[in-house]
Structure 1
Amino acid sequence: MSGLNSVNLVGRAGRDPEMRMFESGATLCTVTLAVNRQKRKGEEQAPDWFDLEIWGRTAEIAGEYVRKGSLIGISGSLGFSRWSDRTTQETRERAVVKVDQLELLGRSATSTSAE
């Protein structure tokens, strides 16, 4: 039996996206996503934070339209980003959501519309 690695989230961008272009022509967009958990009675609502990694044309769209506070929905898989610490030379890693699909659901909560 094969495994299942699927992540679906709806939340608000925690910051403006960071874009990186590579010599190969690949485009990478990274952004954090705050997802509010359902709170129990009497508890304060605290978001769960996720690091998103978006590649290709979807990354270009995210870079153009997503801003801090934008409501977005994503589908993807959980992965790990690994690197070597420049100071200690130790291998570090962190969990990231590798986004396959992005839906723009709404503007930033702080944006205003011109009428």
Structure 2
Amino acid sequence: MSLNVVHLVGRAGRDPEVKYFESGKVLCELTLAVNRRTSKSDEPDWFNLKIWGKTAEIAANYVRKGGLIGIQGSLTIETWTDRNTGANRSKPVILVDRLDLLGSKRDEEGGLGSNYPMTDEF
């Protein structure tokens, strides 16, 4: 048996970058900053996220830098060859299956709570 499931809650590190392909597919990429429960430093862990399809469109419309989101997905390692040096490169990426819009930093500071819709569309 094998299992590759990642659950994270954190803040968007930047506004989403959206790409529309001729095939009709939509890709949304963004970073997620997650604080460790046991860490005494203020430095978060950073994750690269890729979101496809309808969920990508929702992320593009509702997620903004600093917004609190929850995700569920799977971990993959992307590999490529650096064009300049010819060296092999790699980075971990979370392929998001589910996105929960939990609110924004402004909502917390203003005491408004989180009134964003949630989606589990894949």
Question: TM class by shorter-chain length?
Answer: 0.7 to 0.9
**2:25 corresponding residue in structure 1:** 26
- Structure 1 gaps, min length 5: none
Change in CA separation of 1:22 and 1:90 when aligned onto 2, cut-off 3 Å = farther
Please state if 1:53 is matched with 2:38.
no
Q: Which has the higher contact order (CA 8 A, sep 6+)?
A: 1
Please state if 1:62 is matched with 2:59.
yes
**In structure 2, C-alpha distance between the alignment counterparts of 1:11 and 1:98, rounded to whole Å:** 16
**Structure 2 length normalisation: TM-score?**
0.81
**Structure 1 length normalisation: TM-score?**
0.86
Q: Letter of the aligned partner of 2:88 in structure 1?
A: T
Q: Letter of the aligned partner of 1:49 in structure 2?
A: W
Corresponding residue pairs, total = 109
**CA RMSD in angstroms, aligned pairs only:** 1.7
Q: Note the 1:32-51 alignment, pairs <5 A.
A: 32-39=31-38, 43-51=40-48
- Structure 2 gaps, min length 5: 111-122
**Displacement over 3 Å in runs of 4+:** 110-113
- In percent, how many aligned pairs have the same letter? 57
